[in-house]
Amino acid sequence: MNNEMNAPQPEPTGRSLFGGWQNAKEWLRQNLKGDIVIWIIVALLSFTSMLIVYSATGTLAYQRGGGYPESFLFKHAFFTGIGLLVMWAVHRINYTYFSRLSRAALLISIPLLILVKVAGVTINGATRWLAIPGTGLTFQPADFARLALIANLAAMLAKRQRVQYDWQIFGKMILWVGIICFFIALTSTSTAVLLGFSCFLMLYIGRVPGKYLAVMVVSIGIAGATGLVVGQRLDTAQGRIERFLKRDEYQAKQGFIAIANGGTLGQGLGKSHQRNYLTQAYSDFIYAIIIEEYGIIGGIIIMILYAILLVRGVQNINETNRAFGGLLSAGLMLSIGLQAFTNMAVAVGIFPVTGQPLPLLSMGGTSVLFTCISLGIVLSVSRGDIEETNL
């Protein structure tokens, strides 16, 4: 009897659950550092992408021989999972290392961009990808070049925050931006335009005098236009602009119908009709499918999430203790934000069709990976400042 009375009693269920929550909270605190708002938004967008990609790829699976939509979902989930894992790993690296690596990465990106022009893989009529030997995978060197250019530009701007600008110093900045935009414009007009605009905003935030900014606009315009003319996308760009002005773009029309079908509250998950007609329902026009299934309310929520993400990244410019960290965070988040709002603007008919995916939501491979790397760097910037504050 005494032995029974002295035996350890089971812990109450409520206390056990509370202890489990505390342990989980402590684990998250130890492993997910940096801006918690960015973590939450990335998690929400990643979860939403699973739902919408599964819905949007039903017709694609049928067109490719009656396959199962789950196969595309599993592929997207795999790349998203890898991307989030890489983001977590990158956010634990001190962001100052990227300043040292940026010039080497920039030098590597140039031959890769040239190689795309010579031996690139063509997908949906665009030659923007390089095959990764032995894997069956492809990646866009433009994503790598964009990341390298923004990091290098942030490093150059940070070194000159207390130094008076002259044409020699500014010439080095404009040369790198012009070279990268030229090579990207050979195969992707919209990517070159968005990157050039992101760099312009970085220079503006970096307090570059107005006369230099004016020269940059002219120089980048010439470099991008030259790349467009000698590249492979001139006819495509002209055709898209003409069809946009005439409101005669097939994909855009189907997107408008999807938005009209969605109304205020949407048709419901998996009930999109226009996914059967939008050939890029899972990528370029995924925002139209989101509105069709979740309504205008769902579309506005997605837009707000991207806006908050953009603000949290850019505000590091005021909160960081180092100019490089703030400029790097702002540049990367501006690039992601501009891409997101361009995709949404195309879906609602504000811009011509560009071929830009919606970051973290569109089905993709290495594009998801490079987006997550960028977000990991932004989190590294915020993590560094938080840890310094707590010391």
Average pLDDT over all residues of the chain: 86
| Residue 115 forms part of a structural domain | yes
Give the pLDDT confidence score for residue 386 in this predicted structure: 47
Query: What's the angle, vertex CA 321, arms to CA 316 and CA 325, rounded to 5?
Result: 55
Give the pLDDT confidence score for residue 9 in this predicted structure: 55
| Residue 8 forms part of a structural domain | no
- Could you list the pLDDT tens digit for every one of the 391 residues in the chain? 455 555 555 555 555 556 666 776 676 677 788 899 999 999 999 999 999 998 888 666 666 555 566 778 888 899 999 999 999 999 999 999 999 899 999 999 999 999 988 888 887 777 788 888 877 778 889 999 999 999 999 999 988 776 676 777 788 899 999 999 999 999 889 999 999 999 999 999 988 888 889 999 999 999 999 999 988 888 889 999 999 998 888 989 999 999 999 999 999 988 888 888 887 888 889 999 999 999 999 999 999 999 999 999 998 888 777 889 999 999 999 999 999 999 999 999 999 998 899 999 998 778 899 999 999 999 999 987 544 433 3
Of 337, 340, 358, 341, give the one whose Cα is nearest residue 350: 341
| Residue 268 forms part of a structural domain | yes
- SS3 of 240, please? helix
| Residue 12 forms part of a structural domain | no
pTM: 0.89
Query: pLDDT tens across 258-272, in order?
Result: 999 999 999 998 888
State both tokens at 244: 């946009």
| Residue 191 forms part of a structural domain | yes
Residue range of the domain that includes 149:
48-390
| Residue 1 forms part of a structural domain | no
| Residue 17 forms part of a structural domain | no
Residue 130's beta-bridge partner residues? 139
Q: Do residues 366 and 137 make contact, with C-beta atoms less than 8 angstroms apart?
A: yes
Q: What stretch of H or E contains 296?
A: helix 286-314
Within 32-128, residue ranges assigned H as helices are: 36-56, 58-63, 69-91, 97-119
Domains identified in the chain, total number: 1
The one-character DSSP state at 290 is H
Q: Do residues 133 and 121 make contact, with C-beta atoms less than 8 angstroms apart?
A: no
Give the pLDDT confidence score for residue 67 in this predicted structure: 57
Tell me the backbone φ, ψ of residue 139, rounded to 5 degrees: -145, 160
Give the pLDDT confidence score for residue 293 in this predicted structure: 95
Alpha-carbon distance of 231 to 233, in angstroms, equals 6
Give the pLDDT confidence score for residue 135 in this predicted structure: 74
b/e burial code for range 268-282 (CB count within 10 A of at least 16 → b): eeeebebbeebbbbb
| Residue 40 forms part of a structural domain | no
